[in-house]
Structure 1
Amino acid sequence: MKSKTNFLFPLVVSILHHFLVLSATAEVSLKTDEASLLALKSYVTSDTYDVLTSNWTLTTSVCNWIGVTCSSRHQRVIVLDISNMGLIGTIPPQLGNLSFLVSLDISSNGFHGILPRKFANLHRFEFINGTSNMFTGDIPSWFSLLPELQHLHLAFNSFTGIIPPAIYNASKLESLVLGFNQLQGEIPNEIGNLQNLTWLSLGSNQLTSLVPLSLFNISSLQRLVLMNNSLSGNLPVDICSNLPELTVLALSDNEFDGQIPSGIDKCSKLQILSLSFNKFSGVIPRKIGKLNMLSILYLGRNDLEDEILEEIGNLRNLEIFYAQNCSLSGPLPSSISKLTSLQLLNLYGNKLSGTLPRDLCLNMSVLRAMDLGNNLFSGRIPKEFENCTSLSDLFLRENNLIGELPREIGNLFNLGRLDLHYNFLTGPIPSTIFNMSNIRGISFLGNFFTGSLPPDKGLGLPNLEELYLGYNNLTGSIPHSLSNASNIFRLGIGYNNFSGPFPRSFGNLRHLEYLNVNDNHFTKEPSSQELIFFNSLTNCRHLRQLWIGYNPLNGNLPASVGNLSSSLD
């Protein structure tokens, strides 16, 4: 028994010694991590919410500090997340001593300067997020020395220079997000080396030249965002042949030309297709109608031609469709009423013609904004538009619409802006329009409306800010209840046949900045030789433009004219 005990004793001592050595090593290493983080704290010049000041102290273990996560095995800092803490300062090189660090998130702060070269020693790095700071200088080339790096996010900073070619040697990269900087130069062909890439965002930089074909061969790619650069050239016809996982293709605000690729339907998982503000020409490919997962389609400001395809009605998940200023012609396809998920529709500034489909709003209960302005639409405004019950913006301006405005439009109780200017609408303005309690802007400028405005009880417009009724054939006096629309700051009723004494109630519109009553039949009040309405206008302290010409205002200017707003032009 004694010999057995003699055998076990050295073994126990050895194990205990090994444990004590490891514990001591871990303690020393954790002290290194602690010193690194305290160095960061000392480099922070403004701690808006006092997070580091009050929490990163020696009275608690570094592993319990806010934003710090330690591994259970080694008791070393592996995650540092101090995002959105209102911190201002620079990043110290000592942070490069966090040798077990896997993830660093310093986004949405006010860090500036450059990223320290010592970060290249952190070979366990997988995730770096420095988005929304004020970093400057070149994108560091030493990112390529981080063998485990999978996610690099440095958007919304002030990085300059070119994208370092060495970065494309970081073969494990899954997301590279460098948008909203000031990067220049070309996208090199070596980008095709990143065969694990799922998200590439280089938008809102100053990149130029062609997009390398190798980029379209990264089969793992899910999101490709290159918008707002100066990239040019044609897109390959088979752009989607090797991009089966692509969900986002955002190329707007560049100088791409040629036709929209006819093989776009091969990107069958596309949810966002943004090609607006380029120089694309030709027709919209019919195969776009096969992208049944598409929710956002931006085609505006291109040189497209021909009609809007009937196949557009197949996009049952489409929520946003913008094809403004594209030279599109022909009628609005009836199939567009099948877009039951549509929320925003903008077809402004084309050459679309024919009548507005009566069933357009039949199934569009979630449509919030519709802009069909500056086209060649004719005929009447369908009363069935009242079925677009979620509409907040309805723009039909600058068309050839005729007839009376349906009173049912007044049933769109969520409507905030209604713009029908420069059409050929006739008849009286329905009284229902003046009871739309959420309306903020109305423009009926340049039509042929007749009749008078409804009496006092009809003007329930508490949120109205802009009202344009000029260049019509409206008559009668201005109801006193207009002053109940106390938020109006722009009022244009010129070039009509309004009559009666100049309304003193205008003086109750305290936010008024612009008032145009030109070319009507307003008169002074018969009880005075002075134009006493000026007395009330002195209450409009923000008034900048006042147009009262071509009215029979025969009277003397009162002394109160000198008290008009000092900002008056």
Structure 2
Amino acid sequence: MRFLLVLQQWALIIIIFITTDALNNNETDHVALLAMKSKILEPFGGGALSSWNESSHFCNWEGVVCGKRHKRVTLIDLTSLGLSGTLSPHVGNLTFLRRLVLYNNTFHGEIPNEIGGLYRLKVLVLQTNSFQGRIPSSLSRCSSLVYLYIANNNLVGTIPEELSSLSMLKRISAYENNLTGAIPKSLGNITSLEVLSAAYNHFGGTIPNNLGQLKNLVELGLGGNQISGMIPSSLYNLSNLNTLSLSFNDLHGSLQPYIGNMFPHLKVLQLQINSFTGQLPNSIGNLTKAKTLAFSHNEFSGKLTVDFSKLVNLEILSLMYNNLGSGDFDEMHFLESLTNCSSLERLNTIMNQFGGVLPDSVGNLSSNMHFFALGGNQLQGMIPPTIGKLINLSLLGLFNNRFTGPIPSTIGKLQKLQRIVLHGNQLSGTIPDSIGNLSLVNLIDFSNNNLEGKIPSSFGNCQRLTSLTLQQNNLSGTIPKELFQVSSLSIVLDLSHNHLSGPLPSEIGELKSLVALDISNNNDLSGEIPSTISSCTSLESLFLQGNMLQGSIPMSMEFMRGLQIIDLSSNNLSGQIPTFLEKLSLINLNLSFNDFNGELPLHGAFANSSSVSVYGNDKLCGGIPSLQLPRCPVKKLNRNFFFSSKRIYAIVGASILGILIIISSLVFYLRKRKRESTSLDLLPKESFVQISYGELLIATDGFSSSNLIGAGGFGFVYRGVLDQIGDVAIKVLNLVNPGATRSFIAECKALKSIRHRNLIKIVTCCSSIDFQGNEFKALVYELMMNGNLEKWLHPSQDTSRPEFNLLQRLRVAIDVASALDYLHNQCELTVIHCDLKPSNILLDQQMVAHVGDFGLARLFYPEIGISHHSSSMGVLGTVGYAAPGMLTDNRTNPVFIFLLA
């Protein structure tokens, strides 16, 4: 009795102690949580842990769950809250904790050793963070641990041997870390283990034989390491496996012939990227639950005789990069058995030794098939038209085989196709027009075949196409303009080594996103390089060699600043090599075997003989010495004559006098005929073309700075291309300037009723509202390709222009005199320009001068005098400025003096 009484007293003391301890440690949990919070950083504007404060009991804090009886913390779940910082060692004081889940944050630092004090812990999820250091061996004291998730961190070192004492452990997920050493043999002692995932680390050694003791194992993932040796025979005893992934290692040897009979539950078998040899065992056909079979990148060989007909769940079969095949005519018979695999989505056998023909039964493969690749084999015969039944295909790869005959037109039925690769065969016939039905296709490669006929214009329907390669065929005819209107082309367009003829369509400029263009070695392509090519602003590589192109290199190519490689060799191009090529970041420029002449530039790519080639241009001279071109001829002058100041003054005076006499005679002649032949100089008074703001936006590529060609006091001038007109100059008024509107009105008034060959031609005056609701005013003129007179009289040092000789200057003077005579004496109302200077005289392609910029122009009414739009005329023209080389009086006789020095 006495003993029972003592026992009851001790029991009461223990109960009181436990209860008191629980109550006291309630505060311990509170302190531990606050200590954890102090180490955690929340994202800016966060607040996930804002509830962790004194205003409420910690059992009500976000992510915290307590037991109902003792109000102790049993769960902390802070999944995907964007948290960072470190895990406080105080976590070890939460002794009632059963689940700690910090998944998908950015915690760093080491996993604290104190976590080993959580003897009630069942679930530890630290996965997808940035934890560093070693896996603490103290985890072995968490004797209740069932799930250990530490994958996708930066952990180092080995897996502690001590973990083998965790007799309740079912899952170890440690993939994607930096763990090293060998897979511990002691893991074979954790007989409760169901999942061992240690892929994508740096484990070496061999697969421990005693892993075969893990009879409950359903997933074994050791891929992406440096494990060597053979698959231990004990592993074939793991009959409960549904996933066996040993890919990306250094394993070798052959597979056991009975492998397919040992894993009745296997769904995923991944053995790719190892060094396995031998035949694929026929027993693989008994893996009836299999969804993924990956044998690629090994050294499997021999005839494939597996019967896949029982694998009705198979989705992926990957055999690429092996030596499979025997050369037998019935080599591809295994495809017949695959027609029973109704779930098959991907079949990849590229880069093997398969021979024989592709059977018609290929059309009976799964309607779910979206990836079908048999390239890099020795298949022959025709591509069966039944392939058009695989209507869900997104990739068709039959490249580098020996297929003959035409491309079946049924390919046009594969309307979900995104990539079709048939290069490197012996296909013949024409490209079917049905190719235009592939509205989702982004890559087409028919290169290195024997295709003939014209390039179908239906390619223009493939508006998602980014890459088209048709090189090395026998295609002929002209290049359809529809092809250049596929604006999605952004990677490569390769039409080289065919027999294409005719000119390059001007629509080439619509390929604004294209990086590489190759139309070389067609021999019969002729005409000039279209100036519109300058709109291909993303172009980095341009190959036009081996054709019959002629004319000069378009000056517009100056705007193609992304060009790195240009090959124009073996054509009939002529003229001088433009100096703007010096400014491009070219790594290779080939201009060989053309008919270029004149002096070779010295800078940019021209300064490096390994970057430029100009062989076969006999009329070139100069350049850097290593190019071994002849010196350019120098005009010999009598030194004494040249340096005689008296003779210089005599030449200048005589020249000026001669010019004045010629101009005075011309003015007299013009006045005499002004009433008789005004119609000879007048152009028809055309009505203005109606052009919207949207059209101008498109014409200038959104008023891009790359199209900016000038700026003035009242606005900016852009180069543009309008569909109904062609090249134009667009003057956009800056309406913030108070004089801009008056300038707009003045110029429209002055130009709307006058037409003369030496006056700038206005296309339209555009006054509207832009897309943002703002007022928009612009003037559209014909584009003057040779810029203004100012730049010809006084070129900048970095601009190379042909010589502006005396005869050209005289012609310009005559043109301007003719224009002013017309404005002053032949218009219905006299027009006074008020701002005549070289920068306002523009030169067209033939160097004909045109007077422009009528923003300050005034109309002269005989009754009231000069018109104006404000209360005071103010000062007209360029204030404080007298145009060098040009003087004019009022509205009477123009006088021009072109300086000769």
TMscore range, shorter length:
0.7 to 0.9
Match of 2:435 in 1: 385
Match of 2:394 in 1: 343
Q: Which moved more, 1:343-352 or 1:144-153?
A: 343-352
Q: Does residue 463 of structure 2 align to residue 418 of structure 1?
A: no
Instruction: Mark the CA change 1:399 to 1:295 in structure 2 (over 3 Å): closer, same or farther.
Output: farther
Match of 2:125 in 1: 105
Residue identity in the other structure for 1:464: L
SS at match of 1:359: helix
Instruction: Mark the CA change 1:510 to 1:122 in structure 2 (over 3 Å): closer, same or farther.
Output: same
TM-score, normalization: structure 2? 0.55
Q: Does residue 534 of structure 2 align to residue 498 of structure 1?
A: no
Match of 1:96 in 2: 116
2: CA distance between counterparts of 1:56 and 1:368? 51
- 1:32, distance to aligned residue in structure 2 (A): 6.3
2:444 to 371, 394, 408: 394
Q: Does residue 496 of structure 2 align to residue 453 of structure 1?
A: no
Preserved contact between residue 69 and residue 79 of structure 1 (Cα < 8 Å): no
1:161 to 170, 177, 181: 181
Instruction: Mark the CA change 1:62 to 1:520 in structure 2 (over 3 Å): closer, same or farther.
Output: farther
2:351 to 325, 330, 344: 325
1: CA distance between counterparts of 2:339 and 2:205? 41
- 1:115, distance to aligned residue in structure 2 (A): 0.8
Residue identity in the other structure for 2:160: P
Q: After TM superposition, list the pairs within 5 Å mapping 1:529-540 onto structure 2.
A: 530-531=576-577, 533-535=578-580, 537-540=581-584
Instruction: Mark the CA change 1:47 to 1:130 in structure 2 (over 3 Å): closer, same or farther.
Output: farther
- 1:178, distance to aligned residue in structure 2 (A): 1.1
Q: Which moved more, 1:319-328 or 1:173-182?
A: 319-328
Residue identity in the other structure for 1:174: E
1: CA distance between counterparts of 2:494 and 2:66? 62
Preserved contact between residue 409 and residue 432 of structure 2 (Cα < 8 Å): yes
Q: After TM superposition, list the pairs within 5 Å mapping 1:297-376 onto structure 2.
A: 297-305=317-325, 306=327, 307-309=331-333, 310-311=335-336, 312-327=338-353, 328=377, 329-331=379-381, 332-334=383-385, 336-362=387-413, 364-376=414-426
1: CA distance between counterparts of 2:296 and 2:446? 22
Q: After TM superposition, list the pairs within 5 Å mapping 1:21-60 onto structure 2.
A: 21-22=18-19, 24-25=21-22, 28=25, 31=28, 35=32, 38=35, 59=54
SS at match of 1:95: helix
2:274 to 216, 232, 254: 254
Match of 2:597 in 1: 554
Instruction: Mark the CA change 1:336 to 1:493 in structure 2 (over 3 Å): closer, same or farther.
Output: same
- 1:401, distance to aligned residue in structure 2 (A): 3.1
Match of 1:6 in 2: none
Q: Does residue 565 of structure 2 align to residue 514 of structure 1?
A: yes
2: CA distance between counterparts of 1:319 and 1:174? 29
Residue identity in the other structure for 2:594: N
Q: Does residue 279 of structure 2 align to residue 282 of structure 1?
A: no
Preserved contact between residue 38 and residue 56 of structure 1 (Cα < 8 Å): no
User: Could you report, residue by residue, the CA deviation over 1:302-347 in whole angstroms, capped at 9, with x for unpaired residues?
Assistant: 1122454442555554433332222332244555444343323334
2: CA distance between counterparts of 1:145 and 1:284? 46
2: CA distance between counterparts of 1:52 and 1:94? 27
Instruction: Mark the CA change 1:367 to 1:561 in structure 2 (over 3 Å): closer, same or farther.
Output: closer
SS at match of 2:410: coil
User: Could you report, residue by residue, the CA deviation over 1:466-502 in whole angstroms, capped at 9, with x for unpaired residues?
Assistant: 2222222322222222222222222222222222211
Match of 1:186 in 2: 206
2:530 to 451, 460, 479: 479
Q: After TM superposition, list the pairs within 5 Å mapping 1:78-93 onto structure 2.
A: 78-93=98-113
SS at match of 1:273: strand
1:462 to 509, 512, 515: 512
1:232 to 244, 252, 266: 252
2: CA distance between counterparts of 1:515 and 1:353? 35
Q: Which moved more, 1:405-414 or 1:272-281?
A: 405-414
2: CA distance between counterparts of 1:551 and 1:65? 81
Match of 2:767 in 1: none
Preserved contact between residue 47 and residue 86 of structure 1 (Cα < 8 Å): no
Instruction: Mark the CA change 1:374 to 1:127 in structure 2 (over 3 Å): closer, same or farther.
Output: farther
Preserved contact between residue 496 and residue 519 of structure 1 (Cα < 8 Å): yes
- 1:40, distance to aligned residue in structure 2 (A): 10
Aligned residues: CA RMSD:
3.6
Q: Which moved more, 1:238-247 or 1:135-144?
A: 238-247
Long gaps (5+) in structure 1: 1-10, 525-529
Long gaps (5+) in structure 2: 1-7, 75-96, 354-376, 613-901
User: Could you report, residue by residue, the CA deviation over 1:119-168 in whole angstroms, capped at 9, with x for unpaired residues?
Assistant: 01112222222222221111222232222222211111111111111112
- 1:57, distance to aligned residue in structure 2 (A): 6.1
User: Could you report, residue by residue, the CA deviation over 1:385-412 in whole angstroms, capped at 9, with x for unpaired residues?
Assistant: 3344322222233333333333323322
Match of 2:154 in 1: 134
Residue identity in the other structure for 1:25: A
Match of 1:170 in 2: 190
2: CA distance between counterparts of 1:469 and 1:268? 52
Residue identity in the other structure for 1:146: L
Q: After TM superposition, list the pairs within 5 Å mapping 1:62-81 onto structure 2.
A: 75-76=73-74, 77-81=97-101
Preserved contact between residue 534 and residue 561 of structure 1 (Cα < 8 Å): no
Residue identity in the other structure for 2:120: F
Instruction: Mark the CA change 1:100 to 1:201 in structure 2 (over 3 Å): closer, same or farther.
Output: same
Instruction: Mark the CA change 1:435 to 1:48 in structure 2 (over 3 Å): closer, same or farther.
Output: same
Bigger Rg, structure 1 or 2: 2
Preserved contact between residue 507 and residue 538 of structure 1 (Cα < 8 Å): no
Instruction: Mark the CA change 1:466 to 1:39 in structure 2 (over 3 Å): closer, same or farther.
Output: same
Q: After TM superposition, list the pairs within 5 Å mapping 1:407-446 onto structure 2.
A: 407-440=457-490, 441-446=492-497
- 1:94, distance to aligned residue in structure 2 (A): 0.8
Preserved contact between residue 33 and residue 97 of structure 1 (Cα < 8 Å): no
1: CA distance between counterparts of 2:591 and 2:323? 44
Residue identity in the other structure for 2:351: N
Q: Does residue 587 of structure 2 align to residue 544 of structure 1?
A: yes
Match of 1:527 in 2: none
2: CA distance between counterparts of 1:170 and 1:72? 33
1: CA distance between counterparts of 2:51 and 2:398? 55
Instruction: Mark the CA change 1:137 to 1:69 in structure 2 (over 3 Å): closer, same or farther.
Output: farther
SS at match of 2:488: coil
1:125 to 145, 163, 167: 145
SS at match of 1:511: coil
Match of 1:271 in 2: 291
- Structure with the larger RCO, 1 or 2 (CA within 8 Å, 6+ apart): 1
- 1:426, distance to aligned residue in structure 2 (A): 2.9
